[in-house]
Structure 1
């Protein structure tokens, strides 16, 4: 089904087509193809240096692709940003000295053609009680919430959040995601990057994993877990070579952890039956693969059995 945007508009909110961005010999973004539909909440995951920040920079028009194309709402990123259709919360923003929270958010709101009411932006960001405080006298977590208010204040159709809950405590993170959900339920598109995989699991409709500048997985959290091997089977090594386990039914990878063998398997039942036939079920443990397991499997070099 073709996604529909505001007032029935067709197309994608975000479109990368063969996008490439290089720094010398490094291809930070290497031929990325990605479509994000209107109203989706998408998490972008990747290790440090995987290409997440460069991809976000291309999306916001901060960089131009060396090859391929990036579009927002069918237009160049810069055009959509200038039209007030995009709000961004970036990691490297710094507090502005000698202004209050209300003054700063109000000033930024005045730059947009159809801003969100100031009180609403402050309320959604959970900082209504900080409106009269100077920004340069806030804690790190409070400054992070001010950044969120600044991203919201233009009432953008697309909200881009780069590590939005960094510096927030557990209670503040929960409040942030509740605000984000409220905003997304109004039909807005949200793209966020995070190192907290549980946040991607809990709040994203879809997860995109980038590694070495390329998209290596794209789907729901459950689809990613299945793609990386649905279950983990652990047994005591009991003197056996790791190579003895690789040919077993369903096994996708073998990892040695001290005196334990951990098998990533697509069919744990078949794997356990085969282990029983080998007499190798001492200390048997079967657990579902977590999103952390899937992420490591998707972004780590193949482990050698040693």
Structure 2
């Protein structure tokens, strides 16, 4: 997947408050055609507010928000977006096919119903009432609804919650295909592995400000933590007490060490255990990079869900 220079939506110097709470404090953000952007942050960081502004559901207190060069509250602009939110209040008595036809009717050039169903893997659900589906089936239907209008900008909020692995993999493949066709995709997820797998770009929000914006590799390179793996006989608890060691896990003969002083720890490992073998030093994973950025944030939460 590759992004191009076309900006489909943007925020410029955007501020938003809810009473005494500063939700966004001068945010600048561009969404590019053909790019998957993972928008990450702990609870209350401003993710939901950012998406609400881009969808035209909220108004900025200051700054500028543009969707396809227009005010996001304009109907013409909204016809270019697709949305899959965590909470979807869809009529439970309507059949899935009826829901797709109804949604597609709001768009100028929607996908054929059969194509939308195939992309989301719901061909066998079209004649079933939405309210009688399982949670995972409903999520797949919501994904089909989000993409049925052939949107140029697609918002996916925790899209794979409740999906089994085959359904997740199908959704990932469809997201890649849509980006390849030139759509911009904004993804929020508490599965950091998923963000690393799908995203061309990761934007981390913290207390209403963007603290990191770039590729997954660039985010990982910002942190000093390294993962050291080796086969050795040293006691894990003893290694955990060494300076620069943040975490140690043993898996059989292998030690897995997280360190922010990797060079010094590697030297000590080699000096302490001459029989050491299988030594690897790896860059921080996306989860470690995220935790490093938000380590001192009092509202951080392991599941990364938005509080406000």
Q: TM-score range by the shorter chain?
A: 0.7 to 0.9
CA distance in 2 between partners of 1:107 and 1:98 (Å): 14
Contact 2:225–2:259 under 8 Å retained in 1: no
Task: Give CA-to-partner distance per residue, 1:169-228, whole Å, 9 cap, x none.
Answer: 222111111122122211111111000011111111111111112111111111111111
- 3-state SS in 2 of match to 1:192: strand
Return the offset for 1:48: 2.3
Task: Give CA-to-partner distance per residue, 1:38-75, whole Å, 9 cap, x none.
Answer: 21111111122221111111111110011111112221
* Structure 1 pair 104–225 and aligned structure 2 pair: CA distance change class (3 A): same
Higher RCO (C-alpha 8 Å, min separation 6) = 2
Pairing 1:264–2:260 present: yes
Out of 200, 221, 242, the position equivalent to 2:216 is 221
Structure 1 vs Structure 2 CA RMSD: 3.1
Return the offset for 1:30: 1.9
The size of the alignment, in residue pairs, is: 282
1:64-75 correspondence to structure 2 within 5 Å: 64-75=59-70
Return the offset for 1:280: 7.8
Contact 1:125–1:145 under 8 Å retained in 2: yes
* Structure 1 pair 164–262 and aligned structure 2 pair: CA distance change class (3 A): closer
Return the offset for 1:269: 3.3
Q: TM-score, normalised on structure 2?
A: 0.81
CA distance in 1 between partners of 2:104 and 2:289 (Å): 41
- 3-state SS in 2 of match to 1:16: strand
CA distance in 2 between partners of 1:153 and 1:181 (Å): 16
**Worse-superposed segment, 112-121 or 80-89:** 80-89
* Structure 1 pair 280–113 and aligned structure 2 pair: CA distance change class (3 A): same
CA distance in 2 between partners of 1:60 and 1:169 (Å): 29
Out of 74, 80, 90, the position equivalent to 1:85 is 80
Task: Give CA-to-partner distance per residue, 1:69-88, whole Å, 9 cap, x none.
Answer: 11122211122665511111
- 3-state SS in 2 of match to 1:77: coil
- 3-state SS in 2 of match to 1:78: coil
Out of 283, 286, 290, the position equivalent to 2:285 is 290
1:168-247 correspondence to structure 2 within 5 Å: 168-229=163-224, 231-232=226-227, 245=243
Contact 1:231–1:286 under 8 Å retained in 2: no
In structure 1, list runs of 5 or more residues that go unmatched: 5-9, 247-253
In structure 2, list runs of 5 or more residues that go unmatched: 250-255, 299-308
- Name the counterpart of 1:117: 112
- 3-state SS in 2 of match to 1:224: helix
**Worse-superposed segment, 130-139 or 116-125:** 116-125
Task: Give CA-to-partner distance per residue, 1:226-258, whole Å, 9 cap, x none.
Answer: 11125146997859988xx47xxxxxxx74789
1:130-145 correspondence to structure 2 within 5 Å: 130-145=125-140
CA distance in 2 between partners of 1:30 and 1:23 (Å): 12
